Amino acid sequence: MATIMNRQLFVLLARLALAGVFVTAALPKIEDPVAFASSVGAFRIIDSELSAWVALLLPWLELVIGLGILLPAIRRTSSILVGLLLLLFIALHLSAWMRGLDISCGCFGAETGEASADYRWLILRNLLLLGAVTLVHKQDRQNHNAAPR
């Protein structure tokens, strides 16, 4: 019983951490989409017009799934989308690292003073978040399967 309680507490903390990170990351980008578009463009994968579309839509998606991971009605899908986004970010950072790009992450907006990306730390951070989202998603699936139909 105590093990189950501990596990549920751990999952709740992971859920809150993921929500906190995604909401905190989304708000400055919603506030300053021009700077975020510039950070997206720096990865040199898409052109500037597409970067502007990404900078417009992605922060709102991050905000909705960041809050959604706490809401029972959409938390399963939100956790899947959070996981997919984290995989995408890891792939983008790996790609930029391999190409030797000197860019700032832009992960929490492109505020002045942000240092050049430390790719090892960024990838490690996203892998930790991916671990947390796997835990959360597993719990959601268990709850879904155990729920009366």
Residues binding other proteins (CB under 8 A): 30-31, 33-35, 37-44, 48-49, 52-53, 55-57, 60-61, 63-65, 68, 73-74, 76-78, 80-81, 101-104, 106, 110, 112-116
- Euclidean distance between CA atoms 46 and 40, whole angstroms: 8
Minimal distance, residue 57 CB to other proteins, in Å: 5
The amino acid occupying position 39 is S
- Euclidean distance between CA atoms 26 and 129, whole angstroms: 16
Closest CA to 107 of 50, 45, 22: 22
Q: Which is closer to other proteins, CB of 53 or CB of 121? A: 53
Minimal distance, residue 73 CB to other proteins, in Å: 8
Residue 109 DSSP code: B
Q: Which is closer to other proteins, CB of 6 or CB of 48? A: 48
C-alpha pair distances (Å), 70 with each of 24, 31, 80, 117: 15, 23, 13, 30
Minimal distance, residue 38 CB to other proteins, in Å: 5
Minimal distance, residue 98 CB to other proteins, in Å: 16
What three-state secondary structure class fits 13?
helix
Q: Which is closer to other proteins, CB of 59 or CB of 129? A: 59
